[in-house]
Amino acid sequence: MKLRLLVALAVVALLPWILHTPYWRGILIVCAMNVMLALSLNLVLGYAGQLNLGQSAFFAIGAYVSTILVKTWGWNFWLAGLAAMIAAGLLGLALSAFAVRLRGHYLAIASLGFAVITYQILINWEAVTEGVRGIYGISPPPGFRSPVALFYLVAGIALIVYRVLDNLVRSPVGETLRSIREDEVSAAAIGVDAARWKAFAFGLGAAIAGLSGCFYPGFVGTLVPDAFNIVESFTMLAMVIVGGMGTMIGPVIGAVVLTFLPELLRGFGELRLMIYGLALTVVVLFLPGGIVQGWHALRARFS
């Protein structure tokens, strides 16, 4: 465990010096945010078994609440970030209060609906969000102005999130969530309050997505609703599935692969996203457990 943490720290420390152009350092920051998003969705989907297609909304809330608090109300960035994370978490709780009654595909479409509504509010509530015009000139978090520093910050927080969730899913709480995922009725029969624990996972997942959202505007410098289109939810879903749902390391691998794959395919021009779509379908068809499953299969063959 200690060794793994040291390796992870070393990788994070070295990465911006290996991929050292400004362009690739930007991709690294995006990648760290995506890792957090994939981890947050995996908690809801992979451990609590709730088909949530609205995760992009919580990412958006994190981004907009923190930016508006800083730009319009003059808050300190860290305080604003904390508030944005709490706001996203509370909204997640509110949504889950009503989502716990829904199952499977109803929840999928209801959460998709929530993402559509959030996106529409960002476009239409111009007095606060500036609508499609967008918010400009957003500065990075104070003290982390350079891309390398920002990457260290976001990746460091992603590592903390990973540690917290890793401990959580190993604890009795993780056991409870898995029991709900496998069979809610049986879980209820042994005294598990499924509704409360599902709400907990949903709220925590939303808060982490919101936390990731805090860093997005400072990195890009502008904030427009189109960055939080519902397609973003599908991308997060793809990261979780391609990596390996219901494992801790899977979503991390998925986020890294699906962040870098489109960049590496840039040479293919218009074919790029076609290859991306095809890859997604092929992974699901032939590797239902994602890359993690493929890795285990490979290891079993060669040992």
Residues that bind another protein (CB under 8 A): 45, 51, 98, 101-102, 104-106, 108-110, 112-114, 116-117, 120-121, 123-124, 185-186, 230, 234, 237-238, 241, 245, 270-274, 276-282, 284-285, 288
Beta bridge partners of 135: 223
Q: How far is the CB of 109 from another protein (least distance, A)?
A: 5
Q: Count Cβ atoms below 10 Å from residue 120 Cβ, excluding itself.
A: 11
87: its two tokens:
């706001």
Instruction: Name the residue nearer to another protein (CB basis): 126 or 193.
Output: 126
Instruction: Name the residue nearer to another protein (CB basis): 88 or 280.
Output: 280
Its sign, for the CA torsion 72, 76, 78, 79, is negative
Instruction: Name the residue nearer to another protein (CB basis): 11 or 297.
Output: 297
Report which residue type is found at 148: V
CB 128 within 8 A of CB 242: no
Q: How far is the CB of 116 from another protein (least distance, A)?
A: 5
Q: How far is the CB of 190 from another protein (least distance, A)?
A: 13
Q: How far is the CB of 189 from another protein (least distance, A)?
A: 9
Rounded to an integer, what distance in angstroms lies between the CA atom of residue 144 and that of residue 152?
Answer: 9
Report which DSSP code applies to 171: S
* Phi, psi (rounded to 5 degrees) for 223: -140, 115
CB 243 within 8 A of CB 296: no
Instruction: Name the residue nearer to another protein (CB basis): 112 or 292.
Output: 112
* Phi, psi (rounded to 5 degrees) for 270: -70, -20
* Phi, psi (rounded to 5 degrees) for 273: -75, -25
Instruction: Name the residue nearer to another protein (CB basis): 82 or 102.
Output: 102
Count of alpha carbons within 13 angstroms of residue 255, beta-carbon side = 26
Instruction: Name the residue nearer to another protein (CB basis): 190 or 285.
Output: 285
Instruction: Name the residue nearer to another protein (CB basis): 10 or 271.
Output: 271
Q: How far is the CB of 256 from another protein (least distance, A)?
A: 18
Q: How far is the CB of 284 from another protein (least distance, A)?
A: 4
Q: How far is the CB of 123 from another protein (least distance, A)?
A: 7
CB 9 within 8 A of CB 159: yes
